[in-house]
Amino acid sequence: MEKKHYASKRALEKGNRILVYAILIVICLIWVFPFFYLVFQSFGLNPNPKSIFPGPGNWTINNYAQLFTNKSTPFFSWWLNTFIIAFFTAALQTVLVLMTAYALSRLRFTGRQALMKLILILGMFPGFLGMLVIYYILKLLNLNTSIYSLILVYAASSMMSYYIAKGFFDTISKSLDEAVLIDGGTKNTVFWRVILPLSKPIIIYTILVSFTGPWGDFMFGKYIAISGGLQVNEFTVAVGLQYLTGFDEYYGVFCAGAVMVSIPITALFFWLQRYYVEGIAGGAVKG
């Protein structure tokens, strides 16, 4: 009787595992379908949005060649603009986020809890609600005609993303701080020479998040491009690719551009995936 019960239990567990794996496989297929669709369409001679695979004899790399050689599609300028914005935004955001997280994790000052609650409440509002106000601030500073003003926009509110980093810093023993202070060090010494060398996963996590945000942002980039009257070669990648969708003859070029944009981010993520996961896991321990 016990053997029959054990066998039925094993069969039920096996069935549950098979069901879970089947659901995960379906989810994975749905997730990767858009990417494979873009790849196949990017190699099509006469891409057809209604079909996944190019027709027989229609495979070509002309779309990729046109992406970099056609003056009407200055992809390299778009890519360079986006890289500069993402690079400097990531540098600024990483420093600001880590310093904010360190202050709220290790220091005790009046209004600390109230400040953390205020940041939490403000973070619940969608960022696009302040787009109009931010644009007029840029206009007052005469910065609305440059796509690089996005660096200031992205970095300005970065301190509100301190939660994961703070949780990671909370896991580092405070006895290290005390030892440095007893030896005559300062809070700056603790942060730069003790905390940061022990925080490689959260640093890389913060860099990745700070870099990928501007890289794929469309909404505010489009707003600046239209309101500031920017030239086509001053667009970011997201805005530039959206511009191509207005021309049927550039559909294959658009798909090729989307593939080229995804490759650097995908490679960077897989290269630093281990640190990314460690950063999230470490930051989720305490909040």
Model confidence pLDDT, tens digit, residues 187-212: 888 888 888 888 888 888 888 888 88
Dist. CA 61–CA 270, nearest whole Å:
26
Residue 196: CB partners within 8 Å, gap ≥ 6?
A: 98, 203
Range of lowest pLDDT (34-38, 129-133, 242-246): 129-133
Q: Across residues 20-47, what is the average pLDDT?
A: 86
pLDDT for the residue 287: 45
pLDDT for the residue 205: 85
Q: CATH 1.10.3720.10: does it fit domain 72-273? A: yes
Single out the residue of 99, 88, 193 nearest to residue 149, CA to CA: 88
pLDDT for the residue 24: 92
40's tokens: 């196949």
Report pLDDT digits (tens) over 84-94: 999 999 999 99
Distances 39 to 47, 227, 242, 247, 269 between C-alpha atoms, Å: 11, 33, 17, 19, 19
| Position 182 pLDDT exceeds 80 | yes
Bridge partners, 44 (sequence order): 59
Burial class (CB in 10 A: 0-12, 13-18, 19+), 220: buried
Q: Across residues 20-38, what is the average pLDDT?
A: 89
Dist. CA 254–CA 44, nearest whole Å:
12
| Position 280 pLDDT exceeds 70 | no
pTM over 0.85: no
pLDDT for the residue 278: 60
Whether residue 259 contacts residue 39, with contact meaning beta carbons closer than 8 Å, is answered with yes
pLDDT for the residue 3: 57
Dist. CA 236–CA 75, nearest whole Å:
9
Range of lowest pLDDT (18-32, 47-61, 109-123): 47-61
pLDDT for the residue 121: 83
Residue 199: CB partners within 8 Å, gap ≥ 6?
A: 98, 165, 168, 169, 172
**Domain ranges in the chain?**
2-60, 72-273
| Position 219 pLDDT exceeds 80 | yes
Distances 15 to 25, 26, 27 between C-alpha atoms, Å: 15, 17, 18
Single out the residue of 63, 69, 64 nearest to residue 46, CA to CA: 63
Q: Across residues 212-227, what is the average pLDDT?
A: 84
The secondary structure element, H or E, covering residue 257 is helix 251-271
